[in-house]
Homo-oligomer: A and B are copies of this chain.
Amino acid sequence: MNNFNNEGYSIIESLISIFTIDKGKVKVLLFRKKDEPYKGYWMLPGGILKANESLEESISDYVVENCGFSNLYTEQCHVFSDVERIPDKRVVAITCIGLIDSISVELKQEIPDSIESEWFNISAIPKTIYDHGMIIDKSVDCLRERIINSNVLKILFPSDFTLPELQKVYEQILGKELDRRNFRKKFINLGLIEDTGYKNEGYTGRPAKLYRFKENIEERDLF
């Protein structure tokens, strides 16, 4: 079993799907590939895992250096190891999701000029290299599991929000429309959010109550 030989050497790349919410839209950060093959196509940020760093260190160093985010929330998502996922090369991709709020994006984003980057709506992903489209889909699945069962959405909503705004974000991540009354009832019952006492005046339409996520949210356990 512990028979290490050359046959067993693989290249590992760590890739990250960084999500944010920008004006009510769930977006993911992609970089544009600068060289052949697939020059001009879009790709997930990430790099080759070096022998002297863990996955977590690799992602963290990469994200600080190439995106300027020093406080990104990250979690492992899925390993993609199809032998032919990259032609002519054996590269295993270990993928993570990252969450950052839009205010931090504006304040801290320092992507070097040499990298062409863009935030894309998760419903409008452009042409990507290799299996990155599939990896983005899986990352949205991971995000979906997280928002149903824990409080990570709080990271994406650091400031006040209305329930319709929250519902729109859930609808994008879950990929389906939700009943407004049902959503309101279920979400308030979860006890994750509290009424701020304010309303969002000044917009068109009836002012809606503003909510915020509670400071301390316990993980929602079934038992």
A220, closest chain B residue (CB) = B222
Query: Considering the complex, which residues of chain A in the window 116-152 have a beta carbon less than 8 Å from any beta carbon of chain B?
Result: 145, 148-149
Chain B proximity mask over A1-13: 1 for CB below 8 Å, otherwise 0: 1111101111111
Interface status of A89 (Cβ within 8 A of chain B): yes
User: What is the CA–CA distance of A116 and B46 in the complex, to the nearest angstrom?
Assistant: 41
A115, closest chain B residue (CB) = B1
* In the complex, chain B residues whose CB is within 8 Å of the CB of A83: 51-54
CB distance from A110 to the nearest CB of B (A): 17
Interface status of A203 (Cβ within 8 A of chain B): no
- B7 and A10 contact, CB distance less than 8 A: no
- Work out how many copies of this chain go into the complex: 2
User: What is the CA–CA distance of A11 and B51 in the complex, to the nearest angstrom?
Assistant: 10
CB distance from A34 to the nearest CB of B (A): 9
Query: Considering the complex, which residues of chain A in the window 25-71 have a beta carbon less than 8 Å from any beta carbon of chain B?
Result: 31, 33, 35, 43, 46-56
> Which one, B12, B31, B90, B94, contacts A51 given CB within 8 A?
B90
- With A8-B49, A10-B12, A149-B149 known, 4 other A-B pairs at CB within 8 A are A7-B51, A9-B10, A9-B51, A186-B223
Query: Considering the complex, which residues of chain A in the window 173-207 have a beta carbon less than 8 Å from any beta carbon of chain B?
Result: 174, 178, 182-183, 186, 190
- A4 and B54 contact, CB distance less than 8 A: no
Give the segment of A16-24, A74-82, A208-216 that binds chain B: A74-82
CB distance from A131 to the nearest CB of B (A): 12
